[in-house]
Structure 1
């Protein structure tokens, strides 16, 4: 069975004729811990996955982008000079947006013929869009000899998503895709954008990091995500800090007391409590992994993170809560929703020989609740975006 890297080369020959100049790969990501802390200038701990997006590409002597997706019909052709916010839409905007962002940053990028394909489960919150952007960004970087840093490429990919696609995401997904390393998670300070690879190798400890795609629709169409951002911004303004990252765990009780009375004050207290305690949990997990502790010790932090997302940030859904509860009851050391919320995936840190038991428990709980059967895969910390 062929994978994306093989399919893009075959499709390139059929679409454009001849061979591409090369093939590039960028992984999706799963966030081990640190949810909704990114836009609060906080801390996150994602890891790059084995699953990702491949791009076969070659430069052309005309200032055009010709892009084809193995998973879509037809080829999209755009003049580079005409790409701008609000001028492109659909899946090709992620690719076109990278060209626009690089040009806006002052880089001379050539026209490109490119075919893309991926194996990240769609709609699962595993950053397939960032993987697409980063695969194309590293291809353009190599083909044009731009010699941009990983941070520069991440910034361009994020700007493509924010300004051209119109998705108000932070930079975590792109940074994780570009800075990933096998056997490591990527500790990101989202204020300084400093990236540090922290050892995280569950198989070496006899563990498995299981990803459960809950099959619940992963969408923020009702404005819930935007509401959480607004609440955090409002709370920071009331507290007189640049961002909620600046509220310490020791100062949390005092901060909560300053958020006013009534329903609005109660809501802001919940949102602030999640962000502040989540930042502390990220730092605790990073400290344990840096010290070479048994990865099992991070399990309670994962579970506490989920409880905080469920109770204080209110971003879980019944399918997610059911999967977490069933995994824990079946012996998982820790389990939590991962991603922006309102659907998506659950992570469970389990003994390698207990994976089947956890899967059966989750499936049984889903059947009892009348949910669609979930799908699962094992998350392996992998290398970041690169030429194949």
Structure 2
């Protein structure tokens, strides 16, 4: 059997999902294809066309691989499925991808979703009572697959360690629930699908891959996780001060007209918490509603301004941009892009630019050339990708 799982484009929504906020998303027309065949050899034999060699993985057995290795994501899926549903049938899987690695287009989450879908079908888990009780639709499926990475429990399906990232379900939701030729707004904790807006046929996204790998390891992992930890601390401090039991900052904000001032008061003693609150409010409560309204009305200038706000907020307040992504965003606007912003976990990765489809390739070449004049050290890994919103994950 074969499955295709797209990468995702986070148009806006930097570190908002696990806080219960908004994201504006698209599934892209590139992704991961996985082919699964039956095997007589115990465990799962996994290989990737992007790298040499193969890995023999057994659920519940640490493969002793370096942090960030692609097979650790496969192992996390095996361990979680066995914990929740019992022993897995042997299989051989071959993974192919045309997503740039560690670029912000969520190749790692696409791998998790692809392996999960293939193994769930291979083992007939959709027919199990515990599956039917917890996974009733694609929204539930996205939520469950996110917990394979962050290690949380989903309904009655017990959690496990995951892959060491304390992220949310944005990536998995885009891959499973977005629509062709549309950008879709979602809110999270729980996942709720909101408005979808058409992307005009005469526009396309050009993605500049900076060449700086957005790896969730080392200092980048620590900074990435600190954003999640600080969001959680904000909710806990709010609950301690008010006696409420709100799960997220978004829940607290929705509870009362004066909640924002209250949250600012409980965060006032800690500059990091204040910055985390301000970054979330600007992205989720200001930039995304403005962008959706602008697209709905066809006001592309206002859409570009909302994207500028989002990128500036990510750099100056959230603190997850780097000089390379900042320069790419500025160059895109200088060269006439309708809008542009960095996206993904940050600390590397990519920047999107929305441009007319006619001349998009030429725009991308000019953009990349100008960038590499200033950052020639990334010539071997920087690249340009043209993409439009594609369909969700599907069995081939």
1:54-73 aligned within 5 A? 54-60=33-39, 64-73=43-52
TM-score (norm 1): 0.82
Q: Corresponding residue for 1:299? A: 304
The aligned counterpart of 2:101 is 122
Distance between the aligned counterparts of 2:265 and 2:95, measured in 1? 51
Write out per-residue CA displacement over residues 195-230 of structure 1, whole angstroms, 9 at most, x where no aligned residue.
35713324x1x2221111111232352121122223
Partner of 1:8: none
Aligned to 1:38: 17
For 1:296 and 1:37, the matched residues in 2 are separated by 24
Write out aligned runs for 1:1-388 (5 A). 22-60=1-39, 64-80=43-59, 82-83=60-61, 86=62, 89=65, 90-106=69-85, 109-147=88-126, 149-162=137-150, 163-196=161-194, 198-202=196-200, 204=201, 206-220=202-216, 221-222=218-219, 223-240=222-239, 242-245=247-250, 246-247=252-253, 252-253=260-261, 255-261=263-269, 264=270, 266-280=271-285, 281-289=287-295, 291=296, 293=298, 297-353=302-358, 355=360, 356-357=362-363, 359-361=365-367, 363-368=369-374, 372-373=378-379, 374-388=382-396
After superposition, what is the alpha-carbon deviation per residue over 1:278-319, rounded to whole angstroms, capped at 9, x for unaligned?
112223334455x46455542211110001011111111111
Contact 2:10 2:25 in 1 (8 A): yes
Deviation per CA, 1:22-42: give whole Å up to 9, x if none: 221111112010101112121
Helix, strand or coil for the counterpart of 2:85?
Answer: coil
**Distance apart, 1:152 and its partner CA:** 4.5
2:57 touches 2:63 (CA, 8 Å); kept in 1?
A: no
Aligned match of 1:15: none
RMSD: 2.7
**Unpaired runs of 5+ in structure 2?**
127-134, 151-160, 240-245
Aligned residues: 358
**Structure 2 Cα separation of the partners of residues 88 and 186 of structure 1:** 39
Could you say if the C-alpha distance between residues 151 and 258 of structure 1 is closer, same or farther in structure 2, counting changes exceeding 3 Å?
Answer: closer
Aligned with 2:125: secondary structure?
coil
Over residues 165-218 of structure 1, what are the superposed CA-to-partner deviations in whole Å (9 max), with x where a residue is unaligned?
33333221122112232112343221112235713324x1x2221111111232
- Residues 208 and 383, structure 2, Cα contact 8 Å, conserved in 1: yes
> What residue in structure 2 maps to residue 18 of structure 1?
none
CA offset at residue 128 of structure 1? Answer: 0.8
State the shift of 1:252 in Å: 3.7
Q: CA deviation at 1:362?
A: 5.4
Give the Cα–Cα distance (whole angstroms) in 2 for the partners of residues 351 and 183 of structure 1: 15
Q: Which segment is superposed worse, 325-334 or 88-97? A: 88-97
For residues 306 and 175 of structure 2, the distance between their equivalents in structure 1, rounded to whole angstroms, comes to 24
Instruction: Please tell me whether the aligned partners of residues 181 and 384 of structure 1 are also in contact (alpha carbons under 8 angstroms).
Output: yes
- Of 60-69 and 307-316, the range deviating more from structure 2: 60-69
SS in 2 for 1:381: coil
Question: Given the two structures, how large is their TM-score scaled by the length of structure 2?
Answer: 0.80
Segment of structure 1 superposing worse, 374-383 or 271-280: 374-383
Change (3 A) 1:112 1:361: closer
Quote the Cα distance in structure 1 between the aligned partners of 2:37 and 2:170: 28
Contact 2:234–2:263 (Cα < 8 Å) also in 1: no
Task: Name whichever of 64-73 and 292-301 sits farther off.
Answer: 292-301
